[in-house]
Amino acid sequence: MAKQLLHMVLGGKLKSLDDNEFEDLDKVDVVGLYPNYEEAKKVWRSKAQATVDDAMTKYFVIHVHRLLDPDDD
Q: Provide the residue-wise pLDDT of the chain in tens; the chain has 73 residues.
A: 778 899 999 999 999 999 999 999 999 999 999 999 999 999 999 999 999 999 999 999 999 999 998 776 5
The Cα–Cα gap between 30 and 61 comes to 11
The domain locations on the chain are 7-68
Closest CA to 31 of 2, 5, 58: 58
Phi, psi of 16 (to 5 degrees): -150, 150
Confidence (pTM): 0.88
Q: How many CB atoms lie within 10 A of CB 60?
A: 15
Residue 73: per-residue pLDDT: 56
CATH architecture observed for domain 7-68: 2-Layer Sandwich (3.30)
